[in-house]
Chains A and B, each alone.
Chain A
Amino acid sequence: MSEFVHKLKSNPRNNVIDDSFWQIKYQDDHRGLELIPLLTTTIPANKSGVVVKLIKDHVDEDAHDLGHLRRIAKEADLIKEGQVEGETADSTEKKPASEVFLRVIIASKDTEVDFETIKAGITAILSYEPPFHTDYASKYLPFTKQESVEWSRNAWPIMWRGNTAAIQTKLSDSELSEMKQKLNEVIALSKANSGTKELPVATLIVDPKTGEVLSRKLDTRHKQGNPLNHCTMEAIAEIASQELARRQERGTSKQEREREGKQETIDGEEDDRLYLCLEMHVYTTHEPCPMCAMALNHSRVGRLVYVESSPGSGGIEPNSGGSHGIHWNPQLNWKYEVWKWVGDDLGVEKVDESVNA
């Protein structure tokens, strides 16, 4: 096993199930504590409503996403090591005793707002100038609850409501054995190209409900004289042409029924029409190139499983090609799960790094 895979396996966050399948997510899911400076102020609890409203009116949009932070923290919770003291903490503090004091986020310091106006506004509300501080907060939502607790101890408190990016996808034992069986099937198919000028690359598209293989494609880009005819593109096209034929067949039989004066339609005829490759599972021998990875996105597949990484040309893994992570890009309107085989050697033939598998 390569050193790369071993390193990933040793990191518990990297989602390896049963020592054999590694779930690849967007690389930004795995980031540590990175701090951003905040401008905050200390105010009496009974004034927090008005002050928060004033802040909201002045700060349209913060430079950072602060959705994971508490807007207001208890003063007592904030005395901790590593805390940077306020710029004007020693300024005129005339707060009456016996009141409860809260510390409120005005905005992150990178935000382009007129801080002086806001400070003046708060001073006017309180009728005295409160202390303003620079506090530090985590730039990102943590990955785990444990991380949230730890980061809140070292920086501004985090509001932990879970992180959907961190939810580990569960695979049942039967799913695991199904995935392994389908991988062996796609590898067996790829062997047909051994010793020819074609690539030892193959793709299966599977209906996840029945386990039925709907398309089985071996790479034949050389024979076809089209360098873009990758087996994954061909498998997607085959699903479409099967559906087209099915609809045409049905259209014909519907017309025949109508000619015979039969009005009834078959139940569910419209409902079971396939939409692209919606939620289907795709098995390939090699990590797909950006073209194929995006074709799977356009086709709305649910899951991709493959064996061999394509460090030069791949469109999925954080360390492949241009680090695109096309299956899990927050800017795209569809995501699909990806599992890479990291178990025992299944005998997939390697291809040259300069090849788009």
Chain B
Amino acid sequence: MTTKYEYHSGFMEEALEQAELSLNNNEVPVGCVFVHNGKVIARGMNDTNKSLCGTRHAEFLGIEHILKTHTADIFEEVDLYVTVEPCIMCASALRQLKIKCVYYGCANDRFGGCGSVMSIHSDKGVDPTYKAYPGFYREEAIMLLRRFYCQENENAPTEKKENKKQRELKTAFQPFDFTKYVHSEEEFVEVYGEEYLHLYQESLKEKLKETGKGEKKRKTKK
């Protein structure tokens, strides 16, 4: 029997294939799939460089594909799997479409709109909120981004090229803080399955250690 985590990871593998494709096309490697009734109904990969348009993110390509054959109300029954946390723009677009749920690989510390920089998916607004869950093939999603930033951009000026050559491909990962994105153990089990509860508990332990350190220091202060 497939676990919940494996079920979501299966779709994330397909999103990673899209990200790999965009890397091969010299685009920031982000890929996604849209899933309706357990079937992939659209795929998307980043297209900002080729189109010269800063808004051609993977999500938008997938959304436009769906709207060729469906009306927009289908999104209420559609889940999105995307390798990187949707940016603020995409997070707002998905909320306006009333997407059912979003699953993503790694957090986006620069532009993330589903919990990292802003929480467009859940804060005050005119459209219904949605849930967004990170951590499916997170390390693979990060490695794709690292490979992109190490690879040479042929359009870049010479001095920039040399800088990039010196960049090393790092393979270590910071532990991921699930508690920032998922607010209770019950919710975690609901989405990721009982078998993976240890991941959440490790995040909790890590967080407690941090606050514990603070407590101890505050005591010594007095």
Q: Chain B, 103-124, contact with A by CB distance < 8 Å: what is the 0/1 string?
A: 0000000110100011010011
8 A Cβ contacts from A325-341 to B: 326, 329, 331-333
Flag if B126 contacts A355 (CB, 8 Å).
yes
Flag if A322 contacts B52 (CB, 8 Å).
no
Asked if B158 is at the interface (CB within 8 A of a chain A CB), the reply is no
Contact among B97, B110, B111, B213 for A112, CB-based, below 8 A: B213
Flag if A240 contacts B52 (CB, 8 Å).
yes
Asked if B125 is at the interface (CB within 8 A of a chain A CB), the reply is yes
CB closest residue in chain B, given A237: B53
| A227–B127 CA distance with the chains assembled, in angstroms | 12
Asked if A160 is at the interface (CB within 8 A of a chain B CB), the reply is no
Contact among A228, A298, A315 for B97, CB-based, below 8 A: A228
Flag if A225 contacts B72 (CB, 8 Å).
yes
Q: Chain B residues with Cβ under 8 A from A113's Cβ?
A: 217
Flag if A312 contacts B126 (CB, 8 Å).
yes
Q: Chain B residues with Cβ under 8 A from A236's Cβ?
A: 53-55
Given the known A-B contacts A226-B64, A236-B54, A237-B53, are A112 and B124 also in contact in the complex, defined by CB atoms under 8 Å? no
Q: Chain B, 62-82, contact with A by CB distance < 8 Å: what is the 0/1 string?
A: 011001000110000000000
Given the known A-B contacts A114-B220, A294-B87, A331-B117, are A322 and B125 also in contact in the complex, defined by CB atoms under 8 Å? yes
Asked if A318 is at the interface (CB within 8 A of a chain B CB), the reply is no
Flag if A354 contacts B51 (CB, 8 Å).
no
State which size class the interface on B falls in. Answer: 35 or more
Asked if B26 is at the interface (CB within 8 A of a chain A CB), the reply is no
Q: Chain A residues with Cβ under 8 A from B67's Cβ?
A: 225-226
Q: How far is the CB of A46 from chain B (nearest CB, A)?
A: 29
Which of A236, A292, A294 gathers most chain B CB within 10 Å? A294
Asked if B60 is at the interface (CB within 8 A of a chain A CB), the reply is yes
Q: How far is the CB of A245 from chain B (nearest CB, A)?
A: 10
Q: How far is the CB of B122 from chain A (nearest CB, A)?
A: 9
Q: Chain B residues with Cβ under 8 A from A233's Cβ?
A: 55
Contact among B93, B123, B126 for A228, CB-based, below 8 A: B93
Task: Report the number of A-B residue pairs with Cβ-Cβ less than 8 Å.
Answer: 117
Asked if A349 is at the interface (CB within 8 A of a chain B CB), the reply is no
Which of B52, B60, B72, B124 gathers most chain A CB within 10 Å? B52
Given the known A-B contacts A112-B214, A228-B63, A321-B126, are A290 and B52 also in contact in the complex, defined by CB atoms under 8 Å? no
8 A Cβ contacts from A282-318 to B: 289-292, 294-295, 297-300, 312-313, 315
| A106–B217 CA distance with the chains assembled, in angstroms | 16
Q: Chain B, 202-222, contact with A by CB distance < 8 Å: what is the 0/1 string?
A: 000000000001100110110
| A239–B55 CA distance with the chains assembled, in angstroms | 12
Flag if B96 contacts A228 (CB, 8 Å).
yes
Asked if B88 is at the interface (CB within 8 A of a chain A CB), the reply is yes
Given the known A-B contacts A294-B87, A315-B92, A356-B96, are A299 and B55 also in contact in the complex, defined by CB atoms under 8 Å? yes
Q: Chain B residues with Cβ under 8 A from A276's Cβ?
A: 52-54
Asked if A116 is at the interface (CB within 8 A of a chain B CB), the reply is yes
| A247–B52 CA distance with the chains assembled, in angstroms | 10
Asked if A23 is at the interface (CB within 8 A of a chain B CB), the reply is no
Q: How far is the CB of B64 from chain A (nearest CB, A)?
A: 7
Given the known A-B contacts A114-B220, A322-B124, A332-B111, are A294 and B53 also in contact in the complex, defined by CB atoms under 8 Å? no
Q: Chain B residues with Cβ under 8 A from A61's Cβ?
A: none
Interface residues of B (CB under 8 A from A): 51-56, 60, 63-64, 67, 71-72, 87-93, 96-97, 110-111, 113, 117-118, 120, 123-127, 213-214, 217-218, 220-221
Closest 8 CB pairs of A and B: A240-B53, A294-B89, A291-B92, A298-B54, A290-B92, A322-B123, A294-B88, A322-B124
List 5 additional contacts besides A109-B221, A226-B64, A276-B54; criterion CB under 8 Å. Answer: A225-B72, A290-B118, A297-B89, A322-B123, A356-B126
What are 15 sample pairs from A and B whose C-beta atoms fall under 8 A apart? A109-B221, A114-B220, A116-B220, A225-B67, A226-B72, A241-B51, A289-B96, A291-B90, A291-B92, A291-B93, A294-B92, A297-B88, A298-B55, A321-B125, A356-B96
